[in-house]
């Protein structure tokens, strides 16, 4: 890791190697932390990095915080400013992952969220393909069930819940699959290990309900908007049975990490002819173009990091100094 890399840590920009928490921190001991994962896409022609749907990520982060009794004295706009500033300091010229984590920072025994201050840290790291170029994923239906809303709400991005993800993903990988599809306790399809899932049947794009213990993905919303507004494809949100997966015309994962990941077999059964389907392919192509800033209509979803025409992101010191809990 480059020594000059910086992190944002408990109210300051510091060298990444100095951004360290105590082993007694409750967020670490009990998983009482929430996070977001964003991508910055490098556009070589424009020598620009675009952060994809940054505001929406921070809006969702605020919702996760609400569930976990977390109170951070930054607004969504201020979080966007801090993120842009960190990227400028690290100055990546390649696709980059941005990981803010908000955590309970008291050093004590006991998991209570009360009387436990909330802190923020954030780093950036180069990040390419999640599936390492695999075109057409082979997945299994996991025998681990998705965490239920009344256990650990999946619609919040809670660090502790990712032990569930880790179990499902690890078993899929060690069994020789690329990833897995996880069911809810009720036996219906929930989502992938860390991504949402879409099925194509008779030309319609179908995904699972928000009440099926999914993280309601920003990429999932993006797919809806692209399908309806650009591709004229009908969409539907409904319960999906496991057996419908095997009979789908097409299947694909979507998520910030996974991007659009076509699935070509489930539990060793080919999906249709076992090739990437035409709708998945169209959506993947359009998504990539939008994220890289090659589609003017969707620039509204992108935050340019290096050429900030409206000087929207110049007041970072003010954000740090004015923050009431510093």
Ligand X SMILES: Cc1ncc(COP(=O)(O)O)c(C=O)c1O
| Nearer of residues 218 and 319 to ligand X, judged by Cβ | 218
Closest CA relative to residue 71, chosen from 24, 127, 115: 115
Minimal CB distance residue for ligand X = 217
Interface residue with ligand X, options 11, 37, 111, 126 (CB under 6 A):
37
Distance of CA 165 to the CA centre of its chain: 13
Interface residue with ligand X, options 72, 120, 172, 195 (CB under 6 A):
195
| Nearer of residues 152 and 319 to ligand X, judged by Cβ | 152
Residue 157 is among the residues annotated as catalytic for this protein:
yes
- Using CB under 6 A as the binding rule, whether residue 217 contacts ligand X is answered as yes
User: Which residues, numbered 164-183, are part of the site for ligand X (CB under 6 A)?
Assistant: 165
Catalytic residue (one of 47, 66, 73, 157): 157
In this structure, the chain runs to a length of 326
| Minimum separation from the CB atom of position 197 to ligand X (A) | 9
Asked if 167 and 144 touch (Cβ cutoff 8 Å), the reply is: yes
- Using CB under 6 A as the binding rule, whether residue 196 contacts ligand X is answered as yes
Interface residue with ligand X, options 124, 256, 264, 265 (CB under 6 A):
256
Helix (H) or strand (E) holding 30: helix 26-30
Size of the site for ligand X (CB under 6 A): 14
- Using CB under 6 A as the binding rule, whether residue 257 contacts ligand X is answered as yes
- What lies within 8 Å, CB to CB, of 268 at 6+ separation is 138
Helices 76-90 and 54-67, packing angle to 10 deg: 120
Q: How far apart are alpha carbons 228 and 173 in whole angstroms? A: 34
- Using CB under 6 A as the binding rule, whether residue 215 contacts ligand X is answered as yes
- Using CB under 6 A as the binding rule, whether residue 137 contacts ligand X is answered as no
Helix (H) or strand (E) holding 118: strand 118-126
Interface residue with ligand X, options 40, 100, 153, 255 (CB under 6 A):
255
Asked if 275 and 248 touch (Cβ cutoff 8 Å), the reply is: no
- Using CB under 6 A as the binding rule, whether residue 160 contacts ligand X is answered as no
Interface residue with ligand X, options 48, 178, 191, 250 (CB under 6 A):
191
Q: How far is CA 202 from CA 181, 205, 207, 237, 279, in A?
A: 22, 9, 14, 15, 11
| Nearer of residues 13 and 130 to ligand X, judged by Cβ | 130
Closest CA relative to residue 30, chosen from 163, 140, 123: 163
Interface residues toward ligand X, by CB under 6 A: 37, 165, 191, 194-196, 215, 217-220, 255-257
| Active site residue ranges | 157
């Amino acid at each position: 890791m480059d020594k000059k890399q910086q992190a944002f840590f408990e109210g300051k920009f510091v060298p990444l190697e100095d951004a360290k928490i105590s082993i007694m921190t409750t967020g670490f001991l009990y998983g009482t932390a929430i996070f977001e994962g964003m991508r910055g896409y490098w556009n070589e022609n424009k020598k620009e990095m675009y952060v994809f749907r940054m505001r929406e990520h921070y809006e969702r982060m605020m919702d996760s915080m609400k569930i976990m009794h977390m109170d951070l004295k930054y607004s969504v706009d201020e979080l966007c400013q801090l993120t842009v500033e960190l990227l400028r300091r690290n100055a990546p010229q390649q696709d980059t992952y941005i990981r803010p984590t908000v955590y309970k920072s008291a050093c004590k025994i006991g998991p209570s969220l009360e009387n436990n201050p909330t802190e923020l840290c954030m780093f950036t790291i180069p990040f390419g393909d999640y599936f390492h170029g695999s075109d057409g994923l082979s997945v299994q239906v996991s025998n681990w069930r998705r965490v239920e809303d009344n256990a650990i709400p999946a619609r919040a991005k809670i660090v502790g819940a990712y032990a569930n993800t880790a179990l499902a993903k690890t078993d899929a990988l060690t069994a020789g699959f690329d990833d897995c599809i996880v069911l809810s306790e009720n036996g219906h399809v929930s989502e992938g290990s860390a991504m949402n899932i879409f099925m194509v049947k008779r030309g319609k794009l179908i995904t699972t309900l928000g009440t099926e213990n999914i993280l309601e993905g920003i990429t999932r919303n993006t797919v809806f908007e692209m399908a309806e507004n650009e591709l004229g494809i009908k969409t539907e949100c409904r319960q999906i049975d496991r057996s419908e997966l095997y009979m789908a015309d097409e299947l694909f994962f979507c998520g910030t990490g996974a991007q659009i990941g076509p699935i070509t077999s489930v539990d060793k059964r080919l999906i249709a002819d076992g090739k990437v389907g035409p709708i998945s392919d169209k959506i993947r192509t359009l998504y990539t173009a939008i994220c890289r800033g090659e589609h003017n209509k969707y620039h509204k979803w992108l935050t340019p990091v290096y050429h900030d025409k409206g000087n929207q992101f110049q007041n970072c010191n003010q954000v740090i100094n004015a923050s009431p809990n510093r």
